[in-house]
């Protein structure tokens, strides 16, 4: 089972009204009427530029986070989307730094349109065999004058309006409201994303994005074939529950690593395992940092494989401010920030925190979703081939992606499952 992620970017402190703006309603929790979501119109070139840029950013972020935390799970899709919403209000050098750090390769209007088209292209993923949900929300300080242009960009391209809360006098109540929204959006898997240290009386805006996925393997594992097997973690070899099956999967072997792809029912989503040579995780992460993970998935071809894959239950929680500063956008977190496209004047707003939590579970079924579509009939009808042994018994990288859009929904480096 793979499911759940939420990310928040918090913006503060005090603002002054100027220029074209809108003051949200005074009643707490009221949702401001928003512009309708724009139709999904984007060129293939712009869609490809977004996918490539997001993958490059994902690779650099994963490699950076894995330096300090041996096992990392995150959702590049959610992180890029939430920071794109923040970028809609960035100006001057802050905007330039954010675009470079996040690998945004399109002008702002085309970038937000491409994110809009991506979100709408992913909507059909949540069909009979898969539970998939994307949600965005803004939580703004009651009475603050936010730019109408900023709110319109988010409404048209990210399908979100403004919920009003009172950070200034009731930060704990505001935090509880945000956590409740995240918990509901992630089916209860991220119940307490924000702690007391993440929201205070200077907070003026929280931009939130949540992703929930519940999908069934096209070729499920049988529970009776799961047994304890050694996993060679950096801290020593341990015995972990390991799933086993022999089936036909897309597979490739490259210098320094091998790849195996497990499809989900419905055919759109895939779980790719990048297994480095023994001791080669750091080298593999270095390659991912340079090229992004998608570039390493080439050459896949159907092979008969004897697969051994550990069951996993991962939960990671990050404050991403330091990592994002290291990747090239320090101004956004300092007094040099120019987020005047959101509200106020240059220097009045800065990002306080970017909080990210991911929950990933892998088991025999893949997910708890019912129904099957028979997507692998062609696979099981192939004549038997000599089995390639693919034993995931050492640190590895996984990529959960949408094959159609190449969106990386989840990404991780696992040193100990």
pLDDT tens-place string over residues 260-292: 999 998 889 999 999 999 999 999 999 999 999
pLDDT at 386 over 80: no
pLDDT at 222 over 80: yes
Rounded to the nearest angstrom, the gap between the alpha carbon of residue 149 and the centroid of all alpha carbons in its chain is: 26
The pLDDT confidence band at residue 13, using thresholds 50, 70 and 90, is: very low
Same domain, yes or no: 259 and 329: no
pLDDT at 24 over 60: no
Same domain, yes or no: 338 and 290: no
In a domain, 284, yes or no: yes
pLDDT at 79 over 70: yes
pLDDT at 347 over 90: no
pLDDT at 244 over 80: yes
Q: What is the 3-state secondary structure (H, E, C) of the chain?
A: CEEEEEEEEEEECCCCCCCCCECCCCCCCCECCCCCCCCCCCCHHHHHHHHHHHHHHHHHHHHHHCCCCCCEEECHHHHHHHHHHHHCCCCHHHHHHHHHHCCCCCCHHHHHHHHHHHHHHHHHHCCCCEEEEEEEEEEEECCCCECHHHHHHHHHHHCCCEEEECCCCCHHHHHHHHHHHHHHHCCCCCCCCCCCCCCCCCCCEEEEEEEEEEECECCCCCHHHCEEEEEEECCEEEEEEEEEEEEEEEEEEECCEEEEEEEECCCCEEEEEEEECCCCHHHHHHHHHHHCHHHHCCCCEEEEEEEEEECEEEEEEEECHHHHHHCCCCHHHCCCCCCCCCCCCCCCCEEEEEEEEEEEEECCCCCCCCCCCCCCHHHHCCCCCCCEEEECCCCEEEEEEECCCCCEEEEEEECCC
In a domain, 48, yes or no: yes
Total number of domains in the chain: 2
Residue pair 299/73 in contact (Cβ under 8 Å)? The answer is no
Q: Tell me, what CATH number does 387's domain have?
A: 2.30.39.10
The pLDDT of residue 309 is: 94
The pLDDT of residue 123 is: 83
pLDDT at 382 over 90: no
In a domain, 85, yes or no: yes
Same domain, yes or no: 304 and 320: no
In a domain, 121, yes or no: yes
For 51, the domain range is: 2-21+40-215+314-360
Same domain, yes or no: 234 and 330: no
- Lowest-pLDDT range of 75-84, 160-169, 376-385: 376-385
The pLDDT of residue 196 is: 85
pLDDT at 22 over 50: no
- The mean pLDDT value for 343-358 works out to 85
* Spatial CB neighbours of 362, under 8 Å, sequence gap ≥ 6: 1, 2, 271, 309, 310, 311, 312, 313
Mean pLDDT, the chain, whole residue set: 83
In a domain, 375, yes or no: yes
Same domain, yes or no: 227 and 245: yes
Percent residues over pLDDT 70 in the chain? 85
Same domain, yes or no: 181 and 257: no
Single pTM value for the model = 0.86
In a domain, 26, yes or no: no
Same domain, yes or no: 101 and 248: no
In a domain, 30, yes or no: no
Same domain, yes or no: 284 and 392: yes
Same domain, yes or no: 327 and 192: yes
pLDDT at 86 over 70: yes
pLDDT at 34 over 80: no
pLDDT at 120 over 60: yes
Express each pLDDT in 284-302 by its tens digit: 999 999 999 999 999 999 9
Q: Tell me, what CATH number does 123's domain have?
A: 3.30.497.10
Residue pair 306/389 in contact (Cβ under 8 Å)? The answer is yes
In a domain, 300, yes or no: yes
Same domain, yes or no: 129 and 259: no
Same domain, yes or no: 318 and 307: no
pLDDT at 416 over 50: yes
Same domain, yes or no: 257 and 133: no
The pLDDT of residue 32 is: 54
């Amino acid at each position: 089972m793979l499911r759940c992620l939420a990310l928040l970017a918090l913006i503060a402190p005090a603002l002054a009204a100027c220029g074209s703006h809108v003051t949200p309603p005074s009643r707490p929790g009221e949702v401001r009427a928003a512009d309708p979501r724009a139709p999904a119109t984007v060129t293939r070139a712009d869609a490809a530029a977004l996918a490539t840029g997001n993958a490059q950013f994902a690779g650099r972020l994963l490699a950076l986070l894995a330096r300090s935390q041996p096992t990392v799970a995150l959702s590049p899709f959610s992180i890029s989307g939430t920071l794109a919403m923040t970028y809609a209000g960035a100006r001057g050098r802050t905007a330039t730094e954010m675009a470079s750090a996040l690998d945004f390769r399109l002008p702002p209007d085309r970038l937000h349109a491409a994110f809009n088209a991506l979100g709408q292209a992913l909507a059909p993923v949540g069909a009979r065999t898969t539970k998939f949900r994307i949600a965005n929300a803004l939580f703004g300080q009651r009475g603050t004058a936010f730019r109408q242009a900023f709110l319109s960009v988010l409404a048209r391209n990210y399908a979100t309006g403004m919920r009003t809360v009172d950070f200034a006098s009731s930060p704990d109540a505001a935090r509880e409201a945000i956590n409740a929204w995240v918990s509901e959006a992630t089916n209860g898997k991220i119940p307490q994303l924000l702690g007391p240290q993440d929201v205070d009386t200077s907070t003026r805006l929280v931009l939130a994005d949540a992703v929930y996925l519940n999908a069934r393997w096209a070729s499920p594992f049988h529970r009776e074939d799961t047994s304890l097997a050694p996993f060679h973690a950096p801290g020593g070899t341990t015995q972990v529950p390991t799933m086993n099956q022999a089936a036909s999967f897309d597979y490739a072997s490259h210098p320094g690593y091998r790849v195996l792809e497990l499809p989900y029912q419905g055919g759109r989503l895939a779980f790719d395992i990048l297994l480095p040579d023994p001791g080669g995780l750091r080298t593999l992460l270095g390659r991912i940092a340079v090229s992004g993970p998608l570039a390493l998935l080439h050459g896949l071809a159907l092979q008969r494989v004897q697969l051994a894959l550990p069951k996993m239950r991962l939960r990671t929680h990050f404050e991403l401010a330091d990592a994002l500063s290291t990747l090239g956008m320090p101004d956004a977190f300092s007094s040099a920030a120019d987020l005047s496209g959101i509200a106020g004047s240059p220097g009045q707003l800065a990002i306080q925190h970017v909080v990210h939590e991911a929950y990933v579970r892998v088991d025999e079924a893949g997910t708890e979703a019912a129904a099957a579509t028979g997507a692998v009939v062609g696979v099981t009808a192939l004549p038997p081939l000599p089995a390639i042994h693919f034993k995931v018994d050492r640190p590895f990288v996984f990529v959960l992606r949408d094959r159609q859009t190449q969106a990386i929904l989840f990404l991780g480096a696992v040193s100990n499952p």
